[in-house]
Structure 1
């Protein structure tokens, strides 16, 4: 289910939303490592709570396209590359887009409300955890139909949550908030009655 066998052109054609987010994140990261302008771009978009309080609302969105280092973006983009396509295929482009973006924004909102004014963060992890949360909702509805999905997803979610609290410098609030939001949206999107309506169209 999560093994990727497509070539480059097939991947882009089959999963355009995932490909778009991969491209944007990688391009933005490359910009942020350019001497001179890189730090300016990073600081202009990172989530800083007191600046959000001052009206810089875009900082609730832009942090999910910024990363604090090579390992940070590699982990997030690898997760998006592996897990994103299957969810985009199951949910559809528009629904995947909303799960990804709104989970990221919700994670940043939770960070804003639950941390102090000096707290700052970057990363797509809230959106990535939203994808895992949506898969968790799918497992809830298909545990008897697709037991193999449950065997794969639940350990991944468990390990991801544990690593959130074990590794230093992690915005655990965004991770957990994104996971919860993705799960709740997934419960709505993947409800059997709604899926039945999709099939009728």
Structure 2
């Protein structure tokens, strides 16, 4: 029996009556000309005989229900933070490959100061790592704060923003080192990590004010402090590179609060 046949509304008094009667038991008005034909269902119970149109409608409903799980999987894949996943996996794979083939960091994407040419290294340096600990700290920051940026900006804009934080951070670090006449190798994504933290901080702070909710900044401040102090333990993690990346993220987050409504 279809859901639309569970009851019939009397046009005279508006009461819901059984579909198996021809007259309304409340006012006596005629509901239908004749009682519906009955046929035995699969369990032997009597059910109203369905028309060809009703059977087609139910068949289409079953087919639609069978297709829904595929749409659900597709929506689930689309909702994943792909930019954050890419920014985490790319340097991890690059580190494994570098260790496997035995190349030095300066031969595998790091920026060598003094920096004269090979501008492509500005893009590769944020994904080049010497140690697993440095990579873990940066990836953890991206995993914590990157998905929030993707929900706010979208996957591609968030990826380009964090990439810009890394590239501009590396450029600033190489410029400072060049002015100080320091010969060094700059690599790693501390600029990306601080950019993600700073942009998230500005957005979360703005949205909490708009919604009248409390804002807990302790987690973001602790994470930022850890990333800023990485150069103390990791020679290739440049302080000025991280700071410049954080400023880019801070500016991007501030700009977003001026032109976008909170989510």
CA distance in structure 2 between the aligned counterparts of 1:129 and 1:98, rounded to whole angstroms: 15
Stretch moving more, 111-120 or 67-76? 111-120
| Cα 1:160/1:45, change in 2 over 3 Å | closer
* SS of residue paired to 1:120: strand
Instruction: Give the aligned partner of residue 179 of structure 1.
Output: 246
Aligned residues: 182
Aligned residue in 1 for 2:171: 109
The one of 196, 207, 212 aligned to 1:142: 207
Which has the larger share of helix? 1
5+ residue gaps, structure 1, are: 1-9
Q: Give the Cα separation in 2 of the matches to 1:123 and 1:156.
A: 16
Deviation at 1:25, TM superposition (A): 1.4
The answer on 1:43 being equivalent to 2:99 is: no
Match for residue 133 of structure 1 among 195, 198, 209: 198
The answer to whether the 8 A contact 2:83-2:150 is kept is yes
Assess if the C-alpha contact under 8 Å between 1:143 and 1:150 holds in 2. Answer: no
In the alignment, is the contact (CA less than 8 A) between 2:134 and 2:234 conserved in 1?
no
Q: CA RMSD in A?
A: 2.6
Deviates more, 1:39-48 or 1:65-74: 39-48
Aligned pair in 2 of structure 1 residues 86, 140: CA closer, same or farther (>3 Å)? Answer: closer
The question of whether the paired residues in 2 share the 8 Å contact of 1:32 and 1:42 is answered with no
**Cα displacement (A) at 1:16:** 1.1
Q: Per-residue deviation at 1:113?
A: 1.1
Q: Which has the higher contact order (CA 8 A, sep 6+)?
A: 1
Does the CA contact (< 8 Å) of 2:205 and 2:215 recur in 1? no
- SS of 2:215's partner is helix
Unmatched tracts of structure 2, length 5 or more = 1-75
Residues of 2 paired with 1:99 and 1:175: CA distance? 14
TM-score (norm 2): 0.61
Instruction: Give 3-state SS (helix, strand or coil) of 1:39's partner.
Output: coil
TM-score scaled to structure 1, two decimals? 0.78
Q: Matches of 2:168 and 2:260 in 1, distance apart?
A: 25
Which one has the bigger strand percentage? 2
Give the greater-gyration-radius structure (CA). Answer: 2
**How much has 1:184 moved relative to structure 2?**
0.7
